[in-house]
């Protein structure tokens, strides 16, 4: 159940400050609380609670505000609750009517916040926030005196759209085949032990000590040759197959797995099939390869970087507009060809602004024949060298080289945005455990990156206006003297 929030916290001056507590009204969290359109977000948030019975949910300012603080400082759930309890500025930011010494919510409630505020909601909130800020920066001009022919004319392409893809790695162990099979064997042995205790069934022979000894002998060896790896995989496949056969015999007799074990058992069956296929065919890749038993939706993403050629997490396409604000164009745990996102991103750009971008800056993988024809049709200049032979005119050839160099320089902005989100806002290592909460964490990092960019620009503008005001006051004083 959800109830509209009491708007008792109108401004900073309505915040009930205890006697002796002095708070700075120009604090960044107070300014940021005024920047975010909480009322608009609350309308969407309230739709998640259609029922009018049950416990009253926490307001959206408390839920989203807590996640913003956590994304900014990378606190754990328990540390976040303690920090909010000790800091009156953070309490004002999450919408409390006054400073309180009690915890506003329990640490486990943050999991519910991440489940309720999905990645789609955050992407919509990010779009609304950026649209509102663009409207403030570019007020509508007076259209008086404009002819009908000018209104009907095709708008001229303006602005720049930068596109690139990256991977948000998840905090999992590096997925070696032997370790995955050993983990599957241990979980199957735990299921067999539960059958034995719950139904008083005879415990089958599992060769548990031998399997553990074989795994440790491989894990502790200094050199893992191809022969050693195949031998270790063959042994672990045999142990896993034996445990699967035991569980199937128990289920044929009418004994069932519990709800938690069903999904885990199905994942192990799929993992066993993939590993057996790769062992028998002597290959090292398979479609929809499982790299984590507890998080089977994660897939290997080949990025080709020198440090980490393959990463494990969600792949996303990020677009950067002319002001440096980012938008998630596509996000998925499955590997996909990012070149298909260029046309969709350009159409969304036109829907937002009313015209296509003047140029699209993207790397080599986006410059397909299909995308080149699309850009040429709509008058968009796609970065990169043109096809065909070099131009014979020396001046034209030098001009094209200067344009290409400038495009490559401007395209660095998207790499800078990736670096900022990964170093400062949690995209560099996703630590949440559920599929929906991992997507929420990625969308939060992009949203918070844009939010702090907007807040810094506004603060810089305020400081600059104050600086100009001081200069004018000094000039008036000198003139009067």
Percent of the chain's residues with pLDDT above 90? 70
Residue 111 pLDDT exceeds 90? yes
What's the confidence (pLDDT) of residue 132? 83
Is the same domain home to 378 and 419? yes
Mean pLDDT, residues 215-244 taken together: 95
Residue 459 pLDDT exceeds 80? no
Flag the least confident range among 6-20, 298-312, 412-426: 6-20
Top pLDDT among 85 and 468 is at: 85
Is the same domain home to 118 and 34? yes
What's the confidence (pLDDT) of residue 167? 96
Question: What's the whole-number average pLDDT of the chain?
Answer: 88
Flag the least confident range among 3-12, 220-229, 306-315: 3-12
Mean pLDDT, residues 414-422 taken together: 95
| Enclosing domain of residue 272 | 177-281
Is the same domain home to 398 and 415? yes
Number of domains in the chain: 3
pTM of the predicted model over 0.75:
yes
Answer positive or negative: Cα dihedral of 474, 478, 479, 481. positive
- CATH number, domain at 331? 3.30.420
What's the confidence (pLDDT) of residue 51? 74
Percent of the chain's residues with pLDDT above 70? 87
What's the confidence (pLDDT) of residue 80? 97
Domain termination residue (choose one: 401, 420, 435): 435
Domain termination residue (choose one: 281, 297, 328): 281
Q: Which of 102, 31, 93, 100 is nearest to 67 (CA)?
A: 93
Top pLDDT among 470 and 235 is at: 235
In a domain, 4, yes or no: no
Answer positive or negative: Cα dihedral of 33, 37, 38, 39. positive
Pairing of strands 300-302, 310-320: antiparallel
Mean pLDDT, residues 300-329 taken together: 92
Mean pLDDT, residues 42-54 taken together: 82
What's the confidence (pLDDT) of residue 213? 96
Residue 12 pLDDT exceeds 90? no
C-alpha to C-alpha distance for 351 and 101, rounded to whole angstroms: 47
Q: Give residue for tokens 């630590």.
A: 431
In a domain, 302, yes or no: no
What's the confidence (pLDDT) of residue 26? 82
Q: How many other CB atoms are there within 10 angstroms of residue 96's CB atom?
A: 20
Is the same domain home to 409 and 427? yes
Residue 433 pLDDT exceeds 90? yes
Is the same domain home to 364 and 411? yes
Mean pLDDT, residues 16-41 taken together: 82
What b-and-e string marks burial along 102-140, b requiring 16 or more CB atoms within 10 Å of the CB?
A: eebbeeebbeebbebbbbebbbebbeebbeebeeeeeee
Q: What is the pLDDT of residues 239-248, one digit of tens each?
A: 999 999 999 9
Helix (H) or strand (E) holding 230: helix 226-252
Q: Using alpha carbons, list the distances in angstroms from residue 175 to 183, 247, 295.
A: 11, 25, 12
In a domain, 371, yes or no: yes
Q: Please provide the size of the chain in residues.
A: 481
In a domain, 227, yes or no: yes
């Amino acid at each position: 159940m959800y109830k509209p929030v009491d708007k008792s916290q109108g401004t900073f001056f309505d915040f009930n400050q205890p006697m002796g507590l002095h708070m700075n009204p120009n604090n960044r969290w107070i300014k940021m609380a005024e920047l975010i359109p909480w009322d608009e977000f609350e309308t969407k948030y309230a739709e998640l609670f259609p029922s009018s019975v049950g416990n009253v949910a926490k307001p959206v300012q408390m839920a989203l505000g807590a996640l913003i603080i956590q994304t900014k400082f990378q606190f754990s759930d328990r540390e976040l609750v303690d920090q909010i309890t000790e800091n009156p500025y953070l309490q004002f930011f999450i919408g409390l009517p006054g400073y309180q010494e009690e915890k506003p919510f329990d640490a486990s409630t943050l999991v519910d916040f991440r489940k309720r505020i999905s990645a789609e909601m955050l992407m919509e909130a990010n779009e609304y926030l950026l649209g509102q800020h663009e409207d403030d920066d570019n007020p509508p001009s007076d259209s008086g005196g404009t002819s009908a022919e000018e209104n009907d004319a095709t708008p001229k392409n303006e602005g720049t759209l930068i596109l690139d893809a990256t991977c948000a790695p998840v905090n999992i162990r590096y997925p070696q085949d032997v370790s995955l099979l050993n983990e599957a064997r241990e979980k199957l042995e735990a299921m067999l032990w539960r059958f034995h205790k719950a139904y008083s069934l005879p415990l089958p022979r599992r060769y548990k000590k031998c399997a553990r000894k074989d795994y440790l002998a491989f894990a502790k060896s200094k050199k893992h040759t191809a022969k050693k790896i195949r031998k270790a995989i063959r042994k672990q496949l045999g142990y896993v197959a034996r445990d699967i056969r035991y569980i199937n015999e128990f289920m044929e007799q009418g004994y069932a797995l519990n709800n938690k074990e069903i999904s885990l058992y199905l994942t192990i069956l799929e993992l066993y099939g993939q590993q057996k296929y790769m062992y028998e065919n002597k290959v090292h890749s398979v479609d929809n390869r499982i790299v984590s038993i507890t998080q089977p939706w994660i897939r290997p993403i080949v990025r080709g970087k020198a440090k980490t050629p393959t990463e494990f997490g969600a792949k996303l396409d990020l677009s950067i507009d002319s002001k440096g604000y980012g938008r998630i164009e596509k996000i998925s745990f499955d590997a996909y060809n990012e070149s298909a996102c260029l046309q969709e991103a350009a159409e969304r750009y036109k829907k937002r602004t009313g015209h296509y971008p003047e140029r699209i800056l993207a790397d080599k993988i986006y410059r397909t024949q299909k995308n080149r024809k699309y850009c040429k049709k709509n008058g968009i200049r796609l970065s990169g060298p043109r096809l065909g032979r070099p131009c014979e005119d020396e001046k034209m050839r030098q001009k094209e080289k200067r344009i290409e160099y400038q495009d490559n320089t401007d395209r660095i902005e998207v790499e800078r945005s990736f670096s900022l989100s990964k170093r400062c806002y949690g995209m560099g290592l996703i630590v949440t455990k559920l599929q929906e909460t991992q997507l929420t964490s990625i969308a939060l990092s992009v949203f918070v990156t844009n939010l702090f960019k907007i807040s810094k620009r506004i603060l810089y503008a305020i400081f600059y206006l104050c600086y100009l005001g001081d200069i004018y006051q000094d000039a008036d004083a000198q003139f009067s003297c």
